[in-house]
Amino acid sequence: MADIDYAIQATGLSKQFGSLVAVNNVDLNVPAGKIYGFLGPNGSGKSTTIRMLCGLLTPTSGSATVLGLDTRKEAEALKQKIGYMTQKFSLFEDLTVRENLEFVSTIYTLSGRTRKARVAELLTEFDLADRSRQYAGTLSGGQKQRLALAAATLHRPSILFLDEPTSAVDPQNRRDFWETLFELADQGATILVSTHYMDEAARCHNLAILDQGVKVADGSPRQLGKEITSQVIEVIAQDPNTARNCLSDESAITSITQLGVRLRVLMPKQQRDGVQLVQKRLGEAGIEAEVEAVFPDLEDVFVAVTELRRREDEGKQDSQGEAA
C-alpha cells in the first residue's frame, strides 16, 4: 500500500518501444492535494509516463501505485477514480457540449438524476451553459479546453492527469485555466500536469524535469533553484549580442542565454568571483554592462540540469572509449 501522504508513487518506472527507451528508471512521490508538474520538451517522456500512471500503458519494468492501486494489476479500478485530459481534444466534435458531458457521465455510470444535476453544474461552473447546444467541433480553443476539463472532472476524481492541456490556447485562457486548477487543488484534488512552458511549471507546488526519458531534477521551483550546481549571473548591455560573443569563449561559462537586452550566464558554483570574472571580460572588450548575481529561474534550472546530464553522458562515453 502506498504511503497515505502520497497520491502517486513510482519506483524504477521504465517504458521501452523496441530499441527506443521512452522512460528510463523514473522514481516519483507526488503529494496528495498538490499540483505536480512534468517539465520537458517534446519527446522527453512526459506523455508516456502519464499513460503508465493512468493504467493505459504497461511499464516495461518498475512499478507504480496511484491512490493505493497498482497500475498493473488494478488498472480498470483505477480508471474509475482518475480524470485524464489529453493534449489533443478527444471528445466528439459532432455532439453538442451537453451531449458530450452526458455521454461521459454514462461511462462513469452516474445515475440519471445525479447525471442531470452534475452536467448542469459543470455547464455553469465552466461557463458553457450558453454553449450547451453548440457542436463541440465549432468551439474555440479555450472553450474546447474548458469542456475537456469539465468532462475529466465530471465524476469528481481524486486525481487529474493533464497532458499538455494548454498547448493550443491563448495566454488569457491559460491563465484562467490555471486559476481553475488551483481551485480544484484547494478542494483536495491531486493534479499532475505536463508542460513545456516555464511559466506554467513555476506555478506548480512541485515538479519533475524530464530529459530524454530521465528524471534529472525533482522538487519545488525554489528548491530546484537552490540546489542546482550552477550560479547565475545576469548581464544587461546595450549590445547584448556583442557581450555574448565576448563571453562565449570563457571556459568557466557553461551556458549563455539571451533574453532581450539581458544575458543569463551560468557557471559552476565553485567558480569563485563569477561576477568579477564577467565584469573583467566585458571591461577588457570595452563593453559597458550591468552585472549581478541573481537567483535561478526555472529556465536556468532546466538548462543547468540538462547540460550537466549531457556532460556526464559524454564523460561516460569517453571513459568507455578509453577502456575499449
Distance CA 247, CA 232 (A): 14
Q: What's the confidence (pLDDT) of residue 315?
A: 60
Same domain membership, residue 276 and residue 217: no
Same domain membership, residue 283 and residue 267: yes
Q: What's the confidence (pLDDT) of residue 281?
A: 95
Same domain membership, residue 253 and residue 114: no
Query: 287 φ, ψ to 5°?
Result: -100, 120
Residue 63 CA from chain centroid, whole number:
21
Same domain membership, residue 212 and residue 113: yes
Number of domains making up the chain? 2
Q: Which ranges constitute the DSSP H helices of the chain?
A: 46-53, 75-79, 97-107, 112-125, 141-152, 171-186, 198-201, 221-227, 240-247, 274-284, 298-323
Same domain membership, residue 142 and residue 35: yes
Where residue 291 sits, what CATH number does that domain have?
Answer: 3.30.70.100
Look up residue 133 and give its three cell numbers. 447546444
Helix (H) / strand (E) containing 265: strand 262-268
Domain for residue 1, yes or no?
A: no
Same domain membership, residue 76 and residue 151: yes
Same domain membership, residue 308 and residue 164: no
Q: What's the confidence (pLDDT) of residue 313?
A: 66
Q: Which residues of the chain have pLDDT under 50?
A: 1-3
Where residue 148 sits, what CATH number does that domain have?
Answer: 3.40.50.300
Same domain membership, residue 234 and residue 168: no
**174, 192, 221 - which closes a domain:** 221
Query: Is residue 39 classed as helix, strand or coil in its secondary structure?
Result: strand
What pTM value is reported for the model? 0.88
Domain for residue 70, yes or no?
A: yes
Look up residue 105 and give its three cell numbers. 457521465
Task: Scan for cell 528508471, then name that residue.
Answer: 25
Look up residue 285 and give its three cell numbers. 572588450
Same domain membership, residue 171 and residue 29: yes
Cross-strand bridge partners of residue 291? 235
Distance CA 45, CA 52 (A): 11
Same domain membership, residue 277 and residue 153: no
Same domain membership, residue 176 and residue 86: yes
| CB of 256 closer than 8 Å to CB of 247 | yes
Q: What's the confidence (pLDDT) of residue 111?
A: 77
Domain for residue 95, yes or no?
A: yes
Q: What's the confidence (pLDDT) of residue 1?
A: 41
Show Cβ contacts of residue 267 under 8 Å, excluding neighbours closer than 6 positions.
230, 231, 233, 252, 253, 254, 274, 277
Query: Is residue 193 classed as helix, strand or coil in its secondary structure?
Result: strand
Q: What's the confidence (pLDDT) of residue 232?
A: 97
Dihedral class, residue 12 (left if φ above 0, else alpha if ψ from -120 to 50, else beta): left
Q: What's the confidence (pLDDT) of residue 2?
A: 44
126: domain range? 6-221
Look up residue 161 and give its three cell numbers. 492527469
Same domain membership, residue 279 and residue 147: no
Inter-residue long-range contacts of 282-290, CB under 8 Å, 24+ positions, other chains counted: 282/235, 282/237, 282/243, 282/246, 282/247, 285/242, 285/246, 287/237, 287/239, 287/242, 287/243, 287/246, 288/237, 288/238, 289/235, 289/236, 289/237, 289/243, 290/234, 290/235, 290/236, 290/237
Q: What's the confidence (pLDDT) of residue 170?
A: 84
Distance CA 55, CA 220 (A): 26
Q: What's the confidence (pLDDT) of residue 129?
A: 95
